[in-house]
Amino acid sequence: MTPGSVTELKALLIGMKPALCERIWAFLALSEKGLIPDTAFAVIREDEGLCAILPAPAAPEDAPQFARITLQVHSDLEAVGLTAAVATALATSGIACNVIAGLHHDHLFVPWDRREEALKLLEKLSLDARR
């Protein structure tokens, strides 16, 4: 358990305080190993090669656009249920969600054109957990 992190699902949901980043993000394959842009939010090494999450100005115009919503709660890496609860809430409304877990927070990437709707659903999920 990371010091100061939260593991209990209800506490995670109540304290998630989703925050919408105003940048547009894209998932892209990097063609050359070793060339990771400084602007990358994350880089994932897959069997097929490197994938990076980059801000839109660094991505091709035709790349699918995503919004990043950061859950402000300091979620423990061993906490159970937060990803499932968030994904279920979004899936119920037909919103795709790609989750990246950091050491302190979870970051959700949702379609750019559904970002406000996703944010409201997450805020409602947090409110409902208080009851």
Secondary structure, 3-state, 30-99? CCCCCCCCCCCCEEEEECCEEEEEEEHHHCCCCCCCEEEEEECCCECCCCCCHHHHHHHHHHHCCCCCEE
Q: Give the mean pLDDT of the chain.
A: 91
Note the pLDDT of residue 37.
83
Given this model, what pLDDT does residue 35 score? 74
Predicted TM-score (pTM) above 0.85: yes
Question: Residue 84's pLDDT is what?
Answer: 96
Model confidence pLDDT, tens digit, residues 22-54: 999 999 888 766 678 888 999 998 898 888 999
